[in-house]
């Protein structure tokens, strides 16, 4: 008897179709995760409504396509029959629930709520004559409540393994009662289906965590490679990567590209008088003040730390003359925002060199060398000055 039960279990739950559907499910969830992360990084709460709606619709479309793809693969494996339908159902339920946790937008919420009416043979009115109709209504109400609760409490659920498990169990139970209403299999089989569903979700949760760790590590590597560790702004490596693209794009266009280079006046004195830790604080103060002011005034400039106390700002679509007023405002903001450190007031000034990309430049380095030269003209003229295309100005003389 025990051998017969074991063989039945193996033939039902440990066969090739189970392995294929499981791998396909994991693959689809991996693809959904990567696309969702990529899309969500492009928007924020401050993004325009049309951008957020577009991203959410794309995410909903990806979920719908994943469900259709899973259905097609299942029918191919079963030659169009519905044998082992529990396998297909659990795989779809896994994707539906997983996307509720991952994507968290109203499109996903609506898909989860409407799915019982488009699932397999349920898109008909036959169940209205079914004696199990009350079970369908109660289970559907339970499903709606669970989906709404998950939608509103996603982060809390993910931080609690027990709450996460209970929601999985209730979600699976409500769905399997809905399926039972339409297909009338022995009710005790619901327990088996729930166990399989929980196993599916455990496997997917494990894979999700590994995938998230991998993506977070990748993001960390990107940050380390492209952002300055001390100041948090883009570094020279990031500038080097962008320089060829900038040259190739703007050397062929009539749209101007202006580069401004500045450094901190008498920076060595901060290190010698107060120590290198104070010098580091001065660097962070300058970077954060300039970056914040650029963001608040929407200058459309991009700030890089070139090295030491030297920084570069790239202005796309602006001439040097248009940048003079912007840079003057940045310098004035920095001058009017002294660094208070250990009760000591530290006034920081900066010197600038500015130039634009010309048709005679053979590479970005030609532009950079010219800007670097103009910066040193400002420093040699007494610092706290600005040199634009070879002409030096005192900031106090600029109106």
Reported as a pLDDT band with limits 50, 70 and 90, residue 248 is: confident
257 has a pLDDT exceeding 80:
yes
C-beta atoms surrounding 60 within 10 Å: 19
* CB contact at 8 A, 310 and 242: no
Instruction: At 331, list the tokens.
Output: 């310098």
- Residue 238 has a pLDDT of 85
Residue 181: which residues within 8 A CB-CB, separation 6 or more? 127, 130, 132, 133, 135, 136, 139
- Residue 224 has a pLDDT of 59
Residue 120: which residues within 8 A CB-CB, separation 6 or more? 82, 85, 89, 179, 182
Annotate 20-54 with b (16+ C-beta within 10 A) or e (fewer): ebbebbbebbeebbeebeebbeeeeeeeeeeebee
- The residue among 225 and 227 whose pLDDT is bigger is 227
Instruction: At 255, list the tokens.
Output: 């749209």
Q: Which helix (H) or strand (E) holds 16?
A: helix 16-40
327 has a pLDDT exceeding 80:
yes
pLDDT tens, position by position, 300-311: 789 999 988 999
- Residue 5 has a pLDDT of 47
- Residue 210 has a pLDDT of 74
Reported as a pLDDT band with limits 50, 70 and 90, residue 1 is: very low
Alpha-carbon torsion (98, 103, 106, 110), positive or negative: negative
**How far apart, in whole angstroms, are the C-alpha atoms of residue 196 and residue 187?**
15
- Residue 122 has a pLDDT of 45
Three-state DSSP class for residue 387: strand
- Residue 68 has a pLDDT of 84
- Residue 99 has a pLDDT of 85
Q: Report the mean per-residue pLDDT for the chain.
A: 82
Region label for 234, one of left (φ > 0), alpha (ψ between -120 and 50) or beta (otherwise):
beta
Q: Percentage of the chain with pLDDT > 90? A: 24
- The residue among 125 and 256 whose pLDDT is bigger is 256
**How far apart, in whole angstroms, are the C-alpha atoms of residue 28 and residue 63?**
9
Domains of the chain: 2-226 (no CATH), 236-397 (3.30.70.270)
- Residue 379 has a pLDDT of 92
Reported as a pLDDT band with limits 50, 70 and 90, residue 356 is: very high
354 has a pLDDT exceeding 50:
yes
Task: Provide the CB-side half-sphere exposure for 155 (13 A, CA).
Answer: 0
- Residue 193 has a pLDDT of 82
* CB contact at 8 A, 381 and 392: yes
Q: What's the gap between Cα 383 and its chain centre?
A: 42
Mean pLDDT to the nearest integer, 235-245: 86
């Amino acid at each position: 008897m025990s051998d017969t039960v074991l063989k039945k279990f193996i033939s039902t739950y440990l066969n090739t179709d189970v392995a294929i559907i499981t791998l396909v499910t994991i693959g689809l969830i991996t693809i959904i995760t990567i696309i969702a992360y990529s899309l969500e990084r492009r928007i924020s709460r401050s993004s325009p409504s049309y951008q957020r709606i577009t991203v959410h619709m794309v995410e909903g479309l990806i979920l719908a396509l994943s469900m259709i793809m899973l259905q097609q693969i299942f029918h191919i494996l079963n030659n169009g029959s519905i044998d082992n339908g529990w396998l297909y159902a659990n795989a779809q339920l896994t994707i539906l629930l997983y996307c509720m946790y991952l994507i968290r937008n109203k499109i996903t919420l609506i898909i989860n709520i409407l799915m019982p009416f488009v699932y397999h043979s349920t898109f008909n009115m036959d169940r209205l004559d079914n004696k199990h109709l009350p079970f369908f209504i109660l289970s559907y109400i339970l499903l709606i409540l669970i989906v709404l609760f998950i939608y509103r409490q996603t982060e809390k659920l993910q931080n609690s393994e027990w709450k996460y498990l209970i929601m999985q169990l209730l979600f699976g139970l409500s769905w399997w009662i809905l399926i039972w209403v339409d297909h009338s299999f022995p009710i005790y089989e619901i327990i088996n289906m729930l166990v399989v569903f929980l196993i599916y979700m455990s496997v997917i949760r494990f894979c999700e965590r590994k995938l998230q760790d991998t993506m977070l590590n990748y993001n960390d590597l990107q940050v380390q490679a492209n952002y300055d560790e001390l100041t948090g702004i883009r570094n020279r490596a990031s500038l080097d990567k962008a320089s060829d693209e900038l040259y190739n794009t703007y050397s062929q266009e009539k749209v101007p590209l202006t580069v401004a280079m500045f450094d901190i006046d008498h920076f060595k004195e901060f290190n010698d008088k107060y120590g290198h830790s104070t010098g580091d604080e001065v660097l962070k103060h300058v970077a954060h003040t300039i970056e914040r002011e650029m963001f608040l005034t929407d200058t459309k400039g991009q700030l890089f730390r070139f090295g030491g106390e030297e920084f570069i700002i790239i202005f796309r679509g602006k001439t040097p003359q248009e940048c003079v007023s912007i840079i003057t405002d940045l310098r004035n903001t920095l001058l009017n925002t002294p660094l208070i450190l250990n009760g000591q007031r530290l006034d920081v000034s900066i010197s600038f060199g500015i130039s634009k990309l010309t048709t005679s430049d053979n590479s970005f380095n030609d532009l950079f060398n010219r800007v670097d030269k103009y910066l040193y003209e400002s420093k040699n003229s007494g610092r706290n000055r600005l040199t634009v295309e070879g002409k030096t100005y005192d900031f106090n003389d600029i109106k």
